[in-house]
Structure 1
Amino acid sequence: MINKVGQIMLYVNDQDEAVRFWTEKLDFTVIAEENNNQGFRWIEIAPKTGAETTLILHNKEFVSKMSPGLNLDTPSLMYFTDSIEQLHSELKGKEITVGEIVNMPTGRVFNFADFEENYFAVLEK
């Protein structure tokens, strides 16, 4: 039986820029990097504070050639925070596109976009 989500694949156009965005702007860390020197390279990243699930950054163009028909769309991801106003302010200060904080039945939430204009959400837990 499946008991947790281990990794989420993010297919990006520029892996190096994606690593910079997630590590420099969102304070993630690189867990591992693999490169077969034939075009297949992936980078595993995660928040620095004890995340059980990691993100794997794959080269979208390479994967589309390797696996035609694979859905390479960005998944809809929801991150959690204990201090939504502070995080919202920090991301704005780092010139990240962020939406307004809104009240939802599950709590306060806002969206932010990466450098490729993929949107993600943050929920205060």
Structure 2
Amino acid sequence: MITQVGQIMVYVQDQEQAVRFWKEKMGFNVVSEEDNGQGMRWIEIAPRENAETTIVLHNKEIVAKMEPEMNLGTPSLMFFTDNAEELYSELMNKKVTVGEMVNMPSGKVFNFADDEENYFAVMERGMRSPN
């Protein structure tokens, strides 16, 4: 039985640029970095220390050579935040491409793009009292 989502693989053209984006603009930390010495390098990032789920940035070109049939498209990721408006403003100030903020029944939602124009979503999910 699966007990949790451990890692999400994101395949990027430029790992260094991707790490800078996630660290400098999104506030993520590098959890670990591995290099097999034969061109295969992966960088694990997370929004905070001891996060249950992490993102691993892989070099798209190298993975495509190793596994030609693998789907290297960007997964559709939904991040959660306690304050969507604050994060939205912060990302705009950092010149991150953001979409329109939408009020959904489940909370405020908007999307943003990384430097390779991969889009991700953010939903406000603060502490709520039980109904």
Find the aligned partners of 1:49 and 1:64 in 2 and give their Cα distance. 31
Q: Give the residue type in structure 2 aligned to 1:64.
A: A
Q: Confirm or deny: 8 A CA contact 2:18 2:115 kept in the other structure.
A: yes
Distance in structure 2 (CA, Å) of the matches to 1:61 and 1:93: 32
Structure 1 residue 74 and structure 2 residue 84: aligned?
no
Q: Percent identity?
A: 67
Larger Rg: 2
- SS of the aligned residue for 1:55 comes to strand
Give the corresponding residue for 1:17: 17
Is 1:31 the counterpart of 2:31? The answer is yes
1:88 aligns with 2:88: yes
What is the aligned partner in structure 2 of residue 109 from structure 1?
Answer: 109
8 A Cα contact 2:78 2:123, kept in partner? yes
Aligned CA-pair RMSD: 0.9
Deviation at 1:107, TM superposition (A): 1.4
- Alignment partners' CA distance in 2, 1:49 and 1:99: 28
TM-score, normalised via structure 2 length: 0.93
SS at match of 1:20: helix
Gap regions ≥5 residues in structure 2 = 126-131
Letter in 1 for 2:97: T
Q: Deviations over 1:17-75 (max 9, x none)?
A: 00000001101000000012211000000002542100000000000000011000000
Structure 1: which 4+ aligned runs deviate by more than 6 Å?
none
Determine if contact 2:29/2:49 at 8 Å carries over to the other structure: no
* Amino acid across the alignment from 1:110: F
Q: How far apart are residue 112 of structure 1 and its match?
A: 0.2
